Amino acid sequence: MTRSLLSSRDGIVAARRVVVKVGSSSISGENAGQIGPLVAALAAAHGRGTEVILVSSGAIATGMPYLQLDARPTDLATQQAAAAVGQNVLIYRYQDSLDRFGIVAGQVLLTAGDLENPSHRSNAQRAMERLLGLRILPIVNENDTVATHEIRFGDNDRLAALVSILVRAELLVLLSDVDALYTRPPHEAGAVKIVDVPVGDLLSDVTFGDIGAAGVGTGGAATKVSAARLAADAGTAVLVTSASLVNEALAGHPVGTFFVPQHA
């Protein structure tokens, strides 16, 4: 696929291929109801011809109540068990919401390691391209039942960046509970919203705290910046904003923090 470079939010609505990543805290527990509005925004983009890939965290958080767990487990085996149960429920919830738009989801389970292995990477790319060609909406999640290191770090932000590079997406949208990136944690005095990040800006003078609800997600602002930089350096524009603003984000409204992509 020939990819055009998105230099600003103005081109978002015309983007041909978009990856959207949502974090655990945005679509699990008390926020499980946000799946409906998220799906509606994805369906609107899908309806105007955009090829949409969703990278969704939340398997562990979704599975926790079924294992009678009040807090995210700390041992790997229980995390894997919660993920095995939660992934099934999570995909059902997405498909249930997609049904009203006549859209079929396709589940794709990966690890970051899969995308670093040439053979696995080629297989994943071929499968993803075929799903998109069939107008299926791929829902990607880390394969938490077999992942080790990746299950505990990044909350799928790096995976989303790697997927956007894999499919040569024009835009990656990283969703969390905060409307944008700030120069310091947004609850602190003096925090200033970062509107645009030029090519090569490492945001080295910015102080980052955590993003998202404590105890559920594992990704923070720093992991989002790292993932955004990875994708932007490979030619994919990145928008970081909140899950509640996903409709505005995909419509090109002036929300969130926009990373200008490097010419790849």
Bind-site residues: 21, 57, 144, 156, 176-177
Distance CA 214, CA 217 (A): 7
Q: Are 245 and 22 in contact (CB under 8 A)?
A: no
Q: Beta strand pairing status for 257-259 and 196-197?
A: parallel
For residue 193, give the DSSP letter. B
Q: Would you put residue 199 in left (φ > 0), alpha (ψ -120 to 50) or beta?
A: beta
Side by side, the strands of the sheet bearing 237-242 are 105-110, 137-142, 51-56, 17-22, 171-176, 237-242, 257-259, 196-197
Spatial separation of the C-alpha atoms in residues 132 and 111, rounded to whole Å: 20
Backbone angles phi, psi at 33, to 5 degrees: -65, -15
Annotated binding site for ATP: 21, 176-177
Please enumerate in sequence order all residues whose Cβ is within 8 A of that of 76, keeping only pairs 6 or more positions apart, or say none: 148, 151
How many whole angstroms separate alpha carbon 153 and alpha carbon 43? 30
Contact 16, 204 (CB under 8 A): no
Give me the count of residues in the chain. Answer: 264
Annotated binding site for substrate: 57, 144, 156
